[in-house]
A = this chain, B = another copy of it.
Amino acid sequence: MSPPPTMHDRASILSTGDEIVIGQLQDTNACYLAQQLTARGVRCVEHAAVGDDRATLVAAIRRLAEHSPLVIMSGGLGPTEGDLTRPALAQVMADQLVTDDAAAAALRAMLAKRGREANDHQMRQAQRPSRATCLSNSFGTAAGLRAIVQVAAPHGVSEVFCLPGPPGELRPMFEREVLPRLNVPPGMRIITRLLHVVGVPEAEAVTRMGDLTRRTRNPLVGITASGGVLTLRIRYEGDAPELAATAQVDEAERLVRVALGSTVFGRGEDTLASVLLDRLKARGRRMAVVESCSGGLLASLLTAVPGSSASFTGGWITYSNQAKERDVGVPNATLREHGAVSGPVATAMALGGLERSCTDHCVAITGIAGPDGGSEAKPVGTVWIAHAWRDAGRAEVDARLFRFTGDRDDVRGRSARAALALVYFALTADAGIARSGPLLWEMPTGSR
C-alpha cells in the first residue's frame, strides 16, 4: 500500500464499545490520544464514542473521515462478536476482510508462549480489509489497522488508524505506529502551555486576568476547575515562526503570573504532588504522611510520581482510633475529649508521624468523608489537616479546618490535594516555612 500524502492539520477521535456508551467504563484512551496529538500540533476537533453496532460504527467512521484528514479509533479489535471495527472499516472502504499472514503468525506465536491454542475467535484478530495494513501489537493479541479512506471533503482522503482498546496495548502502538506517521502542515503551529493554580476561585481568577481570557485573543487563555485546582491553558494557533510564537506564549504566561502570583504552582505535567516532591528534593528534606479519612489516597498521589522515594519515606494509614494511638501515639484522652476529627487529634497525628518517621515534614488528615458519620457539629466534609515540620530542632505545627462539598470521592480527593498544597505553600513562602500561605480553596473555615 502506497498511501497518498494526507496533511494532518486536524484529527477526530472515535472510541467504540457498548461499555463506553453505557458508562460502564471511563474512556481514558480519548484523553490520552488527544493529549498526544495536541502536543504535536495536530488540532483535535471532536471525540465521539459509539456502541458495538455495525451500522452506527460505519456512519461514525464516514462522518469523522469527512471532517478530518486523520481519524484515530480505539477498541473493537478483540476476539468477541462485539468487536466490529474490522468489518465496519472494510464496509466503509467497500473492501473485504482477509487474514494477514504476518499478523496471524505473530498471534499464534504469542498464544503458544502463553500455552494456549489459536481458535477461530482468536484468529479474527489477525484480519484486515484487503487494502489496509496491520499494525503489530507487542502487548496483546489484537493487531491494529491503518487504512486510507476516500472522502468527498476537500481533503480527499482521510487516514484512519484503529488501535486496541486496552490502554496498555493502545499507547505503545500509538507511539510506535502513529506518531512517526503524523504529517503536520509545516506553516501551522499550535503551542499549548498549561499552568496550574490552587487557592483562587474560578470567577476571581477570570476577573484578575481581565483581557487575557477574551475569546478573540491569540494566545488565548482557557480555564478549567477540577478538584480544587484551576488549570489555565495558554494556546497559540497560527503561522508565526516558532521563536515568535513561543515568545507570545511566554508573554501570556508572564501576564498570568502577574495576575495570579504565587497561586500558580506548576506547568504542563506538574501536579501538586510532583511540585511538592521537587521542592522537598531541592531543599534536601523528606516527608511522611498520616492518613485517616483519605485512607492512602494522599500517599498514592505522592507515590504515583516516578522517583518519589527520594523524598517520600512512607506513612501510616491510621483508619481506626486504635491505629492512631498505637502507630503515631495520639493520646487516648485527646481522642476521647475532642473526637477523632478535631484539631488536637490532627495535630497529634502530624507530630507523632514527624517524630516516628524521623523526617522533616509530616502531614496528617482526619475527617468525615461520608456518606455516613456526619453530625450537625461535624457534617460530612469536615476535615482537619495538620502540617508538622522541624524548625531549628523544634517541632512546629499548622492545623487547619476545611469544609469540603461533594461526595465521598470529592471529599477524599480535595482533602489529599489540600494537604499537598498546605506543605507546598509552606515550603515556597519567601521567609522560609511560614504558617500562612495563600488561602486554600474557598473552603477553609478556620485555623488553629
Contact = CB atoms under 8 A, between A and B. Distances in A.
Contacts of A22: 34-35, 38, 44, 192, 233, 235
B141 A203 contact: yes
B410 A214 contact: no
Interface string A158-170: 0000000111100
A360 B74 CA distance: 44
Interface residues of A, number: 112
A302 B306 contact: no
B38 A233 contact: no
A47 B48 contact: yes
A226 B226 CA distance: 25
Interface of A: 17-28, 30-38, 44-52, 56, 60, 78-82, 114, 116, 119, 121-122, 139, 141, 165-168, 171, 192, 194, 201-204, 206-207, 213-215, 220, 222-226, 231, 233, 235, 289, 291, 293-300, 302-304, 306-309, 312-320, 322-323, 326-327, 356-357, 370-372, 405-410, 412, 442
Nearest to A303: B295
Contacts of A44: 21-23, 51
A191 to B, nearest CB: 12
A30 B19 CA distance: 12
20 contacts: A18-B222, A20-B31, A20-B34, A21-B34, A22-B44, A23-B32, A24-B35, A30-B49, A52-B222, A81-B215, A82-B215, A122-B203, A167-B406, A295-B304, A296-B303, A307-B372, A313-B319, A313-B323, A315-B316, A317-B317
Nearest to A302: B295
Given A45-B56, A233-B18, A320 B316 contact: no
A41 to B, nearest CB: 12
Q: What number of copies of this chain does the assembly contain?
A: 2
> Closest 4 A-B residue pairs measured CB to CB?
A295-B303, A296-B299, A23-B34, A23-B35
A78 to B, nearest CB: 7
A135 to B, nearest CB: 18
A55 to B, nearest CB: 11
Given A25-B226, A48-B47, A224-B25, A80 B206 contact: yes
Contacts of A291: 296, 299
Nearest to A299: B296
A267 to B, nearest CB: 13
A91 B358 CA distance: 63
A202 B165 CA distance: 13
B327 A320 contact: no
A20 B224 CA distance: 10
Contacts of A307: 372
B323 A319 contact: no
A139 B80 contact: no
A322 B317 contact: no
A269 to B, nearest CB: 11
A79 B19 contact: no
A303 to B, nearest CB: 3
A135 B297 CA distance: 34
A104 to B, nearest CB: 15
